[in-house]
């Protein structure tokens, strides 16, 4: 319960209407730890769509890493990727429908600020065409064609406006604790960009100002005439917090980060126990939220 001196916004009451849309994170949420989608979850997703409830995959993953769920798309085929920076059509091989880019000048400002605040930070730059990274950044074995150079060079354009849009900037530190790194980065550069994390390591994901899973999901729902009260959301890591707070009903996984548990209106079992499917089955059985 908030008071006149409590700066936190009041949480909306959990949805009492039948949901029209399910928004689920992937890693640590819908996917098991081996990155598979269980038969039970596949059946639950299909049943939700058959009942007229849309399912949106909302993830920090780039579009090219969505093959883990592309076979389980049903009615719409859309997914929100890169923490809200891209909306893609999974039925069209991950075709970009909308991009909310990180301005290159803003990215350079963040790089400069984090280099000063946390020496030994290394960076990667995720473009609409692929990822590139610094020599000291952990290599992406799934992206063997990446360019290796300093972030400053990777963010340069041949001519202004000629470069591919920047989806997000990644920052990695080998010594700082993940939450401490996130707190430091937000205090240092949070006024310039949206900064979050989804990895168990000290790896930060940096998007354009105002870009988040929640803001892009809200836009997609508004286009469909769907209110927050008609959305049920699932997540496990700090990059899900805004989405879970925005949705009328939200669930933290049994394996969720403490900040996610605090943000969600409910809790389900862990990803390896099919926590998303458990809730969907209950909704479709008329058991409430």
CB 71 within 8 A of CB 49: no
According to the model, what pLDDT value does residue 101 have? 97
**Which has the closest alpha carbon to 79: 100, 58, 49, 52?**
58
Which of 177, 207, 237 is the last residue in one of the domains?
207
One domain for residues 89 and 67:
yes
One domain for residues 87 and 153:
no
Domain annotation covers residue 151: yes
One domain for residues 226 and 201:
no
Flag whether pLDDT at 1 surpasses 60. Answer: no
One domain for residues 193 and 119:
yes
**Which has the closest alpha carbon to 58: 231, 206, 222?**
231
Which of 178, 207, 236 is the last residue in one of the domains?
207
Flag whether pLDDT at 15 surpasses 80. Answer: no
List pLDDT tens digits, range 175-213: 999 999 999 999 999 999 999 999 999 999 999 999 999
Question: Can you tell me the distance from the alpha carbon of 288 to that of 106, in angstroms, rounded to the nearest whole number?
Answer: 44
According to the model, what pLDDT value does residue 134 have? 96
One domain for residues 26 and 76:
yes
CATH number at residue 224: 3.40.50.1000
According to the model, what pLDDT value does residue 288 have? 63
Domain annotation covers residue 60: yes
One domain for residues 151 and 86:
no
Domain annotation covers residue 9: no
Flag whether pLDDT at 21 surpasses 60. Answer: yes
**Residue of 75 and 7 predicted with greater confidence:** 75
One domain for residues 129 and 250:
no
Q: The tokens of 7 are what?
A: 């700066």
**Which has the closest alpha carbon to 213: 94, 98, 82, 96?**
82
Question: Can you tell me the distance from the alpha carbon of 74 to that of 223, in angstroms, rounded to the nearest whole number?
Answer: 19
- In the structure, how many helices (H) and strands (E) does the chain have? 8, 13
List pLDDT tens digits, range 142-170: 677 789 999 999 999 878 777 899 999 99
Any residues with CB less than 8 A from the CB of 171 and at least 6 apart, and which? 110, 114, 121, 122, 123, 181, 185, 203, 204, 206
Provide the mean pLDDT of the chain: 90
According to the model, what pLDDT value does residue 74 have? 60
**Residue of 249 and 5 predicted with greater confidence:** 249
One domain for residues 221 and 177:
no
Any residues with CB less than 8 A from the CB of 270 and at least 6 apart, and which? 253, 254, 255
- How would residue 289 be classed by pLDDT, with cut points 50, 70 and 90? low
* Residue span of the structural domain in which 87 resides: 21-100+212-284
Question: Can you tell me the distance from the alpha carbon of 248 to that of 264, in angstroms, rounded to the nearest whole number?
Answer: 10
List pLDDT tens digits, range 222-232: 999 999 999 99
Question: Can you tell me the distance from the alpha carbon of 145 to that of 74, in angstroms, rounded to the nearest whole number?
Answer: 32
Domain annotation covers residue 1: no
Question: Can you tell me the distance from the alpha carbon of 259 to that of 270, in angstroms, rounded to the nearest whole number?
Answer: 16
Question: Can you tell me the distance from the alpha carbon of 106 to that of 193, in angstroms, rounded to the nearest whole number?
Answer: 7
In the chain, DSSP assigns E strands to: 21-24, 54-58, 78-81, 86-89, 95-99, 122-127, 130-133, 166-172, 194-196, 203-207, 231-235, 249-252, 266-267
One domain for residues 224 and 200:
no
Domain annotation covers residue 163: yes
Which of 154, 189, 207 is the last residue in one of the domains?
207
CATH number at residue 151: 3.30.1240.10
Our count of domains for the chain comes to 2
Domain annotation covers residue 84: yes
Length of the chain: 289
Domain annotation covers residue 198: yes
């Amino acid at each position: 319960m908030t008071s006149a001196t409590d700066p936190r916004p009041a949480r909306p009451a959990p949805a009492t209407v039948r949901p029209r849309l399910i928004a689920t994170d992937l890693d640590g949420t819908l996917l098991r730890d081996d990155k598979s989608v269980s038969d039970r979850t596949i059946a639950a997703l299909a049943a939700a769509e058959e009942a007229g409830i849309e399912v949106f995959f909302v993830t920090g993953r780039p579009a090219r890493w969505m093959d883990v769920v592309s076979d389980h798309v049903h009615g719409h085929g859309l997914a929100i990727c890169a923490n809200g920076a891209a909306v893609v059509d999974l039925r069209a091989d991950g075709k970009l429908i909308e991009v909310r880019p990180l301005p290159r000048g803003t990215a350079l400002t963040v790089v400069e600020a984090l280099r000063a605040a946390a020496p030994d930070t290394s960076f990667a730059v995720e473009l609409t065409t692929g990822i590139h990274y610094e020599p000291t950044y952990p290599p992406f074995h799934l992206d063997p064609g990446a360019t290796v150079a300093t972030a400053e060079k990777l963010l340069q354009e041949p001519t202004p406006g000629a470069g591919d849009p920047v989806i997000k900037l990644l920052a990695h530190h080998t010594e700082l604790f993940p939450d401490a790194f996130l707190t430091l980065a937000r205090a240092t550069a949070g006024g310039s960009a949206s900064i979050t994390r989804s990895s168990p390591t000290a790896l930060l994901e940096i998007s354009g100002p105002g870009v988040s899973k929640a803001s892009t999901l809200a836009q997609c729902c508004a286009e469909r005439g769907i209110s927050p009260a008609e959305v049920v959301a699932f997540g496990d890591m700090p990059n899900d917090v805004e989405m879970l707070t925005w949705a009328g009903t939200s669930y933290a996984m049994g394996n969720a980060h403490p900040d996610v548990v605090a943000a969600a209106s409910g809790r389900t079992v862990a990803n390896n126990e099919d926590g998303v499917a458990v809730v969907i089955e209950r909704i479709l059985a008329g058991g409430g939220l």
